[in-house]
Every structure is written in C-alpha cells, then in structure tokens.
Amino acid sequence: MNISLEGKVAIVTGAGGGLGRSHALALAARGARVLVNDFGGRRDGREPSNAVAQRVADEIAALGGDAIASGADVSSVDQVAEMVDLAIARWGRVDILVNNAGILRDRTFAKAELDDFRTVLEVHLMGSVHCTKAVWEPMRQQGYGRIVFTSSSSGLYGNFGQSSYAAAKMALVGLMNTLRLEGEKHGIRVNCLSPSASTRMTDDIMESEQLALLGPERVSPAVVALCAEGAPNGMILCAGGGSFERAYVTLTRGIRLGDGECAEQILAQLDRISDRTGEMIPDHGPDQASWEMGRTPATLVA
C-alpha cells in the first residue's frame, strides 16, 4: 500500500521542533499541505515566539511543499479558532489534525503547585480538546477526518514525578475512545500515539544512549499511518526507535461473588481477579456492565 496524502490538509500542533516538526515534514513529504503550529515557548510553556513555527513552514516550502505557520496558543479557544480558520481560508478544508503540543512542569505530587498542574492539563488535554472541537464540525460536514492525540507511556503506565503529565496523557485515551465512536459514521477516525523520542522534552529524562536511538523521525511513520486513508480507529499505537507496538485497555474475566459476600473475599482472590487468561477488550464502556450482569452467581469464568 502506497500512502498518499495529496490534496489533504493537515494541522500539526507543537510542530516547531522535535516530534511535531518531524510529523509535519513526514506529512508534507506525502503530499499534505501543512499548517505548522507552535506557540514557541520554552519546555515549560513560557516565553513564546512565533519564529519556530515559521522556520518549519519555510523548511517544508524549501522542499517543495505547501505550508503556513501559526503561533496560536492551543490553550486559547479563540486563538485555535483563528488557526483553523486560517487553514480553511488558505486551502478550503482540514482533513488531518495531529495534537502534539505539550509542556512539562515535572515535580513529585507532594511538591507540585496546583497552578502548574492545571497549566499542564490546559495545554495537553484542553489544548487537544480545543483543536479537535474546532475541526470536528468541518470534518463531519465533509465526511472525512483523521485525528491523532499524543498520549504517553507515562500516562499508560505511570512515571515518577509526572503526575500532571500522566493525568493529561491518559485522559486523552479516554477522549479518543469516545470520539472514535462518535466520529465513525462521519468518516472521522481517531487514534492515539504513544511515542518514545529524543526531544527537548526528554533531554534530561533519558540516558544518552537512549537519546541516540530514539530520533523523532523514527516515530513519524506511525503518524503517517494513522493519518492515511486506511487508518485504524481507536488504536493506541506506540512507536520509538523504529519499533511499533499496540497498547490495550483490557478487562479480565474476573470472578463473581454471591450476594452478601464481603470485601475480604475480594482481597483474598485478587490473583484470580487479576488473571489475564481470556481477558477481553470491550468495544465501549457499557460492555463492562453487560459482562457483569450476565455472570452466573458465585462462579469463576476461566
């Protein structure tokens, strides 16, 4: 399968460097016209500059592509609306949205300031919500859309000192799981990317040996796949160092206790509850209750 994005219009947030720049270049190389967005601040989101987005747009143009720049702050609803209007005014549509913008304000939960916690959520979670909301109706009307949320292994599995970042990144999985249902009949496919890459966000987190192996360009093929005509829907695609995996949120078959049995029984049988033999992947949230209501009393289903 030869993936072509000719005629498609993409918005990539946080695309002034690192993963976002790599994603923007990869989409442009496949023929997409790209709005390069970056607030241009430091890693913690302070000291914005429009110059970084323009540099990447110029880079795409120098390679023969079509790109424009936006310094919109994704945490601002009004600025995001102006950014999407800019893309539509220039190219008439938006087909692809890659939500990549993010900041870090890492501290242990005991030392974290609540204002910093909220700011991280505003950029990662609400920034993705703002951008997705702005393109949702245009995509519904045209009957086509590809949306990528950037999750993280920190959200999926946890990471010391990253409570705010992890909370935002796992929230995006929940958002994806609902939007993939709501968008499907309108031709909108929504997925999550969980990347491992050497960027300024990870410079003081990863070892030097890891940084050498995890170039952003080795993640971006996953973004191209998730933005393609044949993209999946509702996938958490992990990528790093040229390796690609899929993460799942699963439900074990568990046990059912009889009426009146107590919490002590839960603790006593945690190993059986945790047994992953025959675990399932619910299609949507109500499947959990359907499974639970259909159990035979006081039995363990292997």
Hey, how many other C-beta atoms are within 10 angstroms of the C-beta on 242?
12
End-to-end CA distance of the chain: 40
- In the residue annotation, 165 being an active-site residue is answered as yes
Q: In the β-sheet with 243-247, what is the strand arrangement from edge to edge? A: 67-70, 33-37, 9-12, 96-99, 145-150, 188-195, 236-240, 243-247
Token couple for 271: 């190993």
Angle at 135 between CA 119 and CA 49, to 5 degrees: 45
The two structure tokens encoding residue 176: 């994806």
Closest CA to 146 of 197, 76, 193: 193
**Phi, psi dihedral angles at 141 (to 5 degrees):** -65, -35
Write b or e for each residue in 107-130: b if 16 or more Cβ atoms lie within 10 A of its Cβ, otherwise e. eeeeebeeebbebbbbbbbbbbbb
Residues designated catalytic: 165
